[in-house]
């Protein structure tokens, strides 16, 4: 496994860093305070080509391999985990549209999404269907050349902004789990509405809401893949999504460690910087080592994906380990800041709120344990 | 008319650590100096207004073949470089001799832009030396470049004044960091950079051998910082100490 980045990869990472330092870093505390979507920064990301990373060139994207996409996402997460949520959910929709929609739909939506004119949202979770996806109640009923969709989705990232939804619904309710299908739903259609907007503890630069569909009629051609293939599409999407959460966690942890290192060098107690205390040094050493370990797991999952090999186990391992590691080490970084770290406006305080959800979304870590154990024990 | 930009490959100073006052070079990636990036941006802006090509010339170790992609992503159209591991540590005289020979290969060269100092040793000599070798007029401390027909109108920011001068092309222009903010390359610019035309030569292929090294670096140490480690408990105490040290309260 080659752990050296190519020049293009390091250049893309540097360009993302410079972009974030110029446009994202100044706005992130404001987004966090005001809990709002970064429209202007999303437009700037589109101008730089950062919204077309996984889209084929024929639709205006750059068609990057998955590892390179991960390197960029890690860098973005260091500066704004919430903008990373916006971008990666958008990219997940693009990826599914490219894999499972017909050419006409791809031509209609993918270039617009690369340009940031249409924003994508994945609609899977429902009030009674979180980890237990098969318990969803949303339905799609065939009616001639159309489907009629009904459903009430919760915790939808990009929900309030979305122009297109990748929406999961039962086409055959008699087959739990196996009768689910995926649909592309333009939000301009009658019957699509935004429900409650959630007030979250972290990731506040990413808006999350309910999405409600009431008798929404879409052309049959907006079915993604084949009827009743939805669970397969979802699981494939989740493998990628979990690797994204893993690398996002690595980015957050890295940012927290860098904050901690800067702080312990200048914080003087008992006449010397606290960095000179062995207890502090050991903490920093452990943080750095655990971050590297999580990064290696993430790269392993991404490399297997690029090789076209199954990587469910690897993506679950990376997601579980990296998010747990990040929660632990952001907490350590906050502890090293003492009382200062508990104050609003200090970066590590925001990171401590942002990081918590990494153990929850895209499949809780408890679910990841079940997936990993199943591979080992079955 | 083409615009030439001379750039120097240097260690990425943002990633450089200092141990025992000496730079730790292990694992430090190579990049171009900050003012060199300003010089390139100036060239790209002029090209966007007047046409032509931006040709990047550089000399350095064999890693330059990779590093040059940064300049291509930032708007360079093609490159001519001497990439040779024997050229990893050139002094100003050697650099000037090599760069002058590389620049001679550009047929329709109207303007040659240098940053006023490299990112590592900042000798500030190479632009002037190249101008002499090519027998071209040179203008330094430039903060604005305007192409006006066959002439250049250049703004020079000096300590107590701003001077505007005119010079016939071709000319060597040495710019400061104040003249622009380099662009952040887009994803597609980064991906296309490696496919842009490049010409690579080694030291043995030079028409004339590089000048003899005239300078030997004896030591390169970070300045010593004496921390006083004074602990204060109030703003009044801080002000008192700053007064004692002569930082505030003087006339």
SS3 string, A177-205, reads CCCEEEEEEECCCCCEEEEEECCCCCCCC
The pTM of this model reads 0.91
Cβ neighbours of A10 in B, within 8 Å: 29
Given A7, A62, A272, which is nearest B69 (Cβ)? A7
Cβ neighbours of B230 in A, within 8 Å: none
Collapse the DSSP code of B153 into the 3-class scheme (helix H, G, I; strand E, B; otherwise coil) and give the result: strand
pLDDT (tens digit per residue) in A265-320: 999 999 999 999 999 999 999 999 999 999 999 999 999 999 999 999 999 999 99
Chain B nearest CA to A67, separation (Å): 15
Chain B nearest CA to A227, separation (Å): 36
Cβ neighbours of B18 in A, within 8 Å: none
Predicted pLDDT at B250: 59
Strand positions, DSSP E, B84-213? 109-115, 138-148, 151-157, 162-168, 171-175, 198-201
User: In chain A, what's the furthest Cα-to-Cα distance?
Assistant: 79
Q: Residue A308 gets which letter from DSSP? A: T
Please tell me the number of Cα atoms within 13 Å of B18 on its side-chain side.
11
Buried/exposed code over A30-47 (b: 16+ C-beta within 10 A; e: otherwise): ebbeebebbeebbebbbe
- The values of phi and psi at residue A138, to 5°, are -60, 145
- The parts of chain B modelled with pLDDT lower than 70 are 250-251
Predicted pLDDT at A1: 63
How large is the C-alpha radius of gyration of chain A? 21
**Which of A244, A251, A250, A201 minimizes the C-alpha distance to A352?**
A201
Q: Which of residues 33-52 of A touch B (CB under 8 A)?
A: 47-50, 52
Strand B22-24 and strand B30-32: pairing?
A: unpaired
- Select from A4, A5, A14, A47 the residue whose CB has the most chain B CBs within 10 Å, as the one to mutate to test that interface: A14
Token pair 């490159």 is at which residue?
B79
Given B29, B187, B229, which is nearest A53 (Cβ)? B187
Cβ neighbours of A50 in B, within 8 Å: 187
| Separation of alpha carbons A120 and A160, rounded Å | 10
| Separation of alpha carbons A319 and A247, rounded Å | 8
| Cβ–Cβ below 8 Å for A48 and B186 | yes
| Cβ–Cβ below 8 Å for A15 and B190 | yes
> Burial level of A376, CB count in 10 A (0-12/13-18/19+)?
exposed
Buried/exposed code over A107-121 (b: 16+ C-beta within 10 A; e: otherwise): ebbbbbbbebebbbb
Collapse the DSSP code of A230 into the 3-class scheme (helix H, G, I; strand E, B; otherwise coil) and give the result: helix
Q: Please report the sign of the dihedral spanned by the C-alpha atoms of residue A94, residue A96, residue A98, residue A104.
A: negative
Cβ neighbours of A60 in B, within 8 Å: none
pLDDT (tens digit per residue) in B12-41: 888 888 888 888 888 888 999 999 999 999
Predicted pLDDT at B123: 85
Predicted pLDDT at A148: 98
ipTM over 0.85: yes
Cβ neighbours of A64 in B, within 8 Å: 187
Token pair 């929709």 is at which residue?
A93
Task: Classify the phi-psi angles of A33: left when phi > 0, otherwise alpha if psi is within -120 to 50, otherwise beta.
Answer: alpha
Residues of B with CB under 8 A from a CB of A: 29, 66-67, 69-70, 73, 184-188, 190-191, 193-194, 229, 231
| Separation of alpha carbons A79 and A26, rounded Å | 10
Given A8, A268, A272, which is nearest B190 (Cβ)? A8
For chain B, say whether A309 makes contact (Cβ under 8 Å). no
- Select from A6, A7, A115 the residue whose CB has the most chain B CBs within 10 Å, as the one to mutate to test that interface: A7
Predicted pLDDT at A372: 96
Contact between B41 and B175 (Cβ < 8 Å): no
| Cβ–Cβ below 8 Å for B187 and A22 | no
Chain B nearest CA to A283, separation (Å): 21
| Cβ–Cβ below 8 Å for A8 and B194 | yes
> Burial level of B90, CB count in 10 A (0-12/13-18/19+)?
buried
| Separation of alpha carbons A252 and A298, rounded Å | 14
| Cβ–Cβ below 8 Å for B73 and A18 | no
- The parts of chain A modelled with pLDDT lower than 70 are 1-2
| Separation of alpha carbons B197 and A94, rounded Å | 33
| Separation of alpha carbons A148 and A141, rounded Å | 5
A234: Cβ–Cβ under 8 A, 6 or more apart, which residues? Answer: A124, A133, A168, A180, A182
- Select from A5, A9, A11 the residue whose CB has the most chain B CBs within 10 Å, as the one to mutate to test that interface: A11
Write down all domains in chain B, each with its CATH number in brackets.
2-215 (3.40.50.620)
**For a pLDDT cut of 70, what percent of chain A falls above it?**
99
User: In chain B, what's the furthest Cα-to-Cα distance?
Assistant: 69
pLDDT (tens digit per residue) in A222-269: 999 999 999 999 998 999 999 999 999 999 999 999 999 999 999 999
CB atoms within 10 A of CB B214: 9
| Catalytic residue annotation of A | 362
């Amino acid at each position: 496994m080659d752990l050296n980045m190519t020049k293009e990869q390091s250049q893309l990472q540097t360009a993302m860093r410079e972009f974030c330092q110029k446009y994202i870093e100044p706005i992130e505390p404001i987004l966090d305070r005001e809990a709002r979507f970064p429209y202007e920064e999303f437009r700037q990301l589109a101008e730089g080509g950062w919204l077309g990373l996984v889209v084929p060139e024929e639709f205006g994207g750059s068609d990057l391999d998955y590892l390179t996409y991960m390197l960029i996402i890690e860098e973005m997460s260091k500066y704004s985990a919430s903008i990373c949520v916006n971008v990666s959910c958008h990219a997940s929709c693009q990826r599914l549209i490219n894999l499972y929609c017909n050419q006409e739909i791809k031509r209609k939506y993918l270039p617009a999404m690369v340009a940031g004119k249409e924003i994508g949202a994945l609609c899977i979770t429902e009030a009674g269907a979180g980890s237990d996806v098969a318990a969803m109640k949303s339905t799609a009923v065939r009616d001639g050349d159309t489907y009629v969709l009904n459903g009430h989705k919760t915790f939808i990232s990009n929900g309030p902004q979305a122009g297109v939804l990748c929406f999961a619904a039962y086409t055959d309710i008699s087959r739990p789990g196996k009768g689910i299908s995926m649909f592309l739903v333009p939000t301009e259609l009658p019957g699509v509405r935004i429900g409650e907007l959630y007030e979250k503890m972290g990731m506040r630069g990413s808006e999350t809401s309910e999405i409600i569909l009431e008798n929404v009629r879409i052309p049959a051609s907006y079915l993604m893949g084949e009827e009743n293939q939805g669970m397969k599409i979802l699981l494939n999407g989740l493998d990628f999504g979990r690797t994204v959460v893993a690398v996002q966690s690595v980015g957050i942890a890295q940012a927290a460690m860098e904050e901690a290192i800067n702080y312990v060098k200048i914080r003087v107690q008992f006449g010397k910087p606290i960095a000179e205390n062995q207890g502090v040094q050991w903490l920093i050493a452990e943080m750095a080592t655990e971050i590297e370990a999580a990064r290696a797991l993430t790269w392993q999952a991404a490399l297997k994906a690029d090789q076209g090999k199954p990587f469910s186990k690897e993506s679950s391992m990376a997601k579980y380990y990296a998010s747990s590691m990040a929660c632990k080490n952001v907490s350590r970084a906050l502890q090293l800041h003492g009382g200062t770290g508990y104050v609003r406006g200090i970066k590590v305080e925001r990171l401590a709120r942002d990081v918590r959800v990494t153990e929850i979304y895209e499949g809780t870590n408890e679910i990841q344990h079940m997936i990993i154990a199943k591979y080992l024990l079955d | 008319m083409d615009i030439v930009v001379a750039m120097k490959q240097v260690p990425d100073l943002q990633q450089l650590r200092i141990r025992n006052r000496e730079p730790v070079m292990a694992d430090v990636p190579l990049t171009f100096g900050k003012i060199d990036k300003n010089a390139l941006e100036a060239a790209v802006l002029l090209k966007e207004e007047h046409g032509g090509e931006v040709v990047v010339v550089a000399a350095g170790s064999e890693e330059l073949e990779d590093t040059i992609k940064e300049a291509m992503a930032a708007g360079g159209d093609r490159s001519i470089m001497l990439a040779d591991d024997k050229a990893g540590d050139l002094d100003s005289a050697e650099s000037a001799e090599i760069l002058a020979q590389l620049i001679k290969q550009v047929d329709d060269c109207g303007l040659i832009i240098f940053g006023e100092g490299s990112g590592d040793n900042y000798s500030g000599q190479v632009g002037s030396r190249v101008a002499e070798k090519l027998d071209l007029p040179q203008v330094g401390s430039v903060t604005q470049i305007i192409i006006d027909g066959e002439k250049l109108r250049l703004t020079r920011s000096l300590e107590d004044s701003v001077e505007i001068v005119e010079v016939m092309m071709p000319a060597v222009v040495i710019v400061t960091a104040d003249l622009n903010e380099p662009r952040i390359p887009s994803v597609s610019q980064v991906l296309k950079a490696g496919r842009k035309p490049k010409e690579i030569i080694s030291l043995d292929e030079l028409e004339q051998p590089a000048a003899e090294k005239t300078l030997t670096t004896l030591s390169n140490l970070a300045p010593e910082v004496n921390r006083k480690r004074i602990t204060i408990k109030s703003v009044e105490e801080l002000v008192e100490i700053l007064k004692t040290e002569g930082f505030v309260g003087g006339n």
